[in-house]
């Protein structure tokens, strides 16, 4: 039955998009979490809505406008937040609201009927076209290439910037790449889960991977496969239940994350209690022998 579903072209496109988005999630999500940039990523995602609205108003592909605004917002946060008088989270909140407001303004100015923005806000993996697949593939390839080429530098930079500087690594260039890769990755994910839900897809698979792995490489790889599982599962659920795919992906992944988190916490508590019980028995036995 499932094989028959994937005979449809739109389902094949959705499957390819899910794989591409999962690669981006594994890489960008891990980097964003390790550098504590998830909140900033949310601000960039919402700021991109201004560019999407601009695309509708001026009549060009909205996603390119979204990319322009996302990169611009990332550059502003990166540069202006270096000034200690302006905190990064404050600037992120401002750009978050400004981008959404600007997008709504541009859409209101667009002549004719107001376009349906649901797919950009909440994602619609089932409506992804061949052209969208192409730009997603190009952006994913760029992110993957940069990640693989600079893998050892990423590890050093993400876990100890001071050590990276001591090793004569150009931290400025690596930081600039981070602030470039995140908005590019966000634009890829917008086509899957939308602007509003992007943060969840960036953070949940990596958070689950970190429950079981400590190694940076294992976290990235497992995040890719976990994200792939969520995207494909959400895709199938949305197909049968007929509700937005982005919503299905995030709801399903959130439930899985909560279940695994509680299960792991309960297991650790049980192991701790067993260990303490064993230690108490040993102490009692030693006391008895004395």
Written as one string, the DSSP assignment of 13-43 is HHHHHHHHHHHHIIIIIHHHHHTT-HHHHHH
- Number of domains forming the structure of the chain: 1
Helix-strand-coil split of the chain, %, nearest 5: 85, 0, 15
Q: Which residue has the tokens 């990423």?
A: 154
pTM value? 0.84
Written as one string, the DSSP assignment of 125-160 is GGG--HHHHHHHHHHHHHHHHHHHHTHHHHHHHHH-
pLDDT at residue 162 in the model: 82
Residue 77: give the domain boundaries: 2-289
201: domain CATH number? Answer: 1.10.3470.10
pLDDT at residue 278 in the model: 58
Structure tokens at 78: 């990166």
Q: Are 183 and 125 in contact (CB under 8 A)?
A: no
Residue 69 and residue 220: Cα distance in Å, rounded?
27
Task: For residue 137, give every residue at least 6 positions away whose Cβ sits within 8 Å of its Cβ, in sequence order, or none.
Answer: 16, 20
pLDDT at residue 82 in the model: 63
pLDDT at residue 182 in the model: 92
Element (DSSP H or E) covering residue 219: helix 216-241
Residue (of 18, 26, 24) closest to 236 by Cα position: 18
pLDDT (tens, 9 = 90+) of the chain, 290 residues, equals: 556 566 778 788 888 888 999 999 999 999 999 888 888 888 899 999 999 999 999 988 888 999 999 999 998 888 876 665 567 777 888 888 999 999 999 998 988 777 778 778 887 787 888 888 888 899 999 999 999 998 988 888 888 888 888 888 888 888 889 999 999 999 888 878 888 888 888 999 999 999 888 888 999 999 999 999 998 888 888 888 888 888 888 899 999 999 998 988 888 777 766 666 656 665 565 556 55
Structure tokens at 23: 């690669």
Angle at 183 between CA 180 and CA 189, to 5 degrees: 140
Residue 32 and residue 15: Cα distance in Å, rounded?
25
């Amino acid at each position: 039955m499932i094989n028959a579903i994937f005979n449809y072209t739109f389902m094949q496109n959705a499957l390819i998009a899910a794989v591409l988005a999962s690669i981006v999630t594994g890489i960008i999500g891990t980097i964003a979490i390790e550098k504590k940039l998830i909140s900033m990523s949310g601000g960039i995602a919402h700021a991109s809505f201004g560019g999407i609205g601009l695309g509708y108003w001026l009549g060009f592909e909205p996603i390119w406008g979204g990319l322009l605004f996302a990169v611009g917002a990332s550059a502003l946060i990166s540069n202006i937040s270096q000034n200690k008088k302006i905190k990064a989270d404050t600037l992120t909140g401002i750009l978050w609201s400004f981008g959404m407001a600007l997008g709504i303004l541009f859409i209101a100015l667009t002549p004719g009927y107001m376009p349906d923005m649901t797919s950009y806000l909440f994602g619609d993996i089932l409506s992804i076209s061949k052209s969208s697949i192409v730009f997603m593939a190009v952006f994913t390839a760029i992110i993957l290439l940069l990640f693989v080429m600079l893998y050892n530098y990423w590890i050093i930079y993400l876990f100890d910037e001071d050590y990276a500087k001591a090793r004569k690594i150009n931290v400025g260039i690596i930081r600039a790449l981070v602030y470039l890769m995140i908005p590019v990755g966000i634009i890829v994910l917008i086509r899957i889960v939308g602007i509003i839900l992007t943060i969840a897809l960036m953070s949940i698979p990596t958070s689950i991977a970190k429950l079981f792995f400590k190694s940076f490489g294992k976290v990235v790889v497992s995040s890719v496969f976990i994200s792939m599982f969520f995207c494909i599962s959400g895709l199938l659920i949305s197909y049968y239940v007929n509700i937005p795919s982005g919503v299905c992906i995030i709801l399903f992944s959130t439930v899985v994350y909560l279940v695994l988190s509680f299960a792991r916490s309960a297991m650790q508590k049980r192991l701790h209690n067993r260990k303490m019980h064993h230690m108490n028995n040993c102490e009692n036995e030693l006391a008895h022998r004395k």
